[in-house]
Amino acid sequence: MAGREYSQYQKNVINNYYGNLDTIMLGKLSELVSELYLAETDAKRCRLWERVHKAMLNLKIPPAIISHIMAKKDVKILAQNLNDWMASPNQNRGAKTR
């Protein structure tokens, strides 16, 4: 299969997307926190926590923090860490695990 040719505009769009991927993922994680607060069934919560786990992996959150959040599965802990991560989006995400 031949390599795909992109115009300069398309290359810029692609670069901007990947340049802002952390911000995009933080926004998605924020939406997941809201959905977790509103989830009515355990099955829905389970699916949402799986998505939270994937989002944290994409954000390159330290494994110790991910495992702590996933072990507790407490939306408040996730929300507090998310606030810390959003306050300093370009820094290391080794926030407190509370």
| 3 inside domain | no
| 14 inside domain | yes
| 95 inside domain | no
What pLDDT was estimated at residue 97?
Answer: 47
What pLDDT was estimated at residue 45?
Answer: 97
What pLDDT was estimated at residue 92?
Answer: 53
pLDDT digits (tens, 9 = 90+) for 55-67: 999 999 999 999 9
Cα(17)–Cα(83) distance, integer angstroms: 22
**From residue 55, how far is each of 27, 51, 70, 93 by CA, in Å?**
10, 6, 12, 13
Give pLDDT < 50 ranges for the chain: 1, 95-98
- Domain of residue 71, residue span: 8-87
Cα(41)–Cα(12) distance, integer angstroms: 42
| 48 inside domain | yes
| 1 inside domain | no
| 92 inside domain | no
State pTM to two decimals: 0.80
| 33 inside domain | yes
What pLDDT was estimated at residue 1?
Answer: 46
- Structurally, how many domains does the chain consist of? 1
| 93 inside domain | no
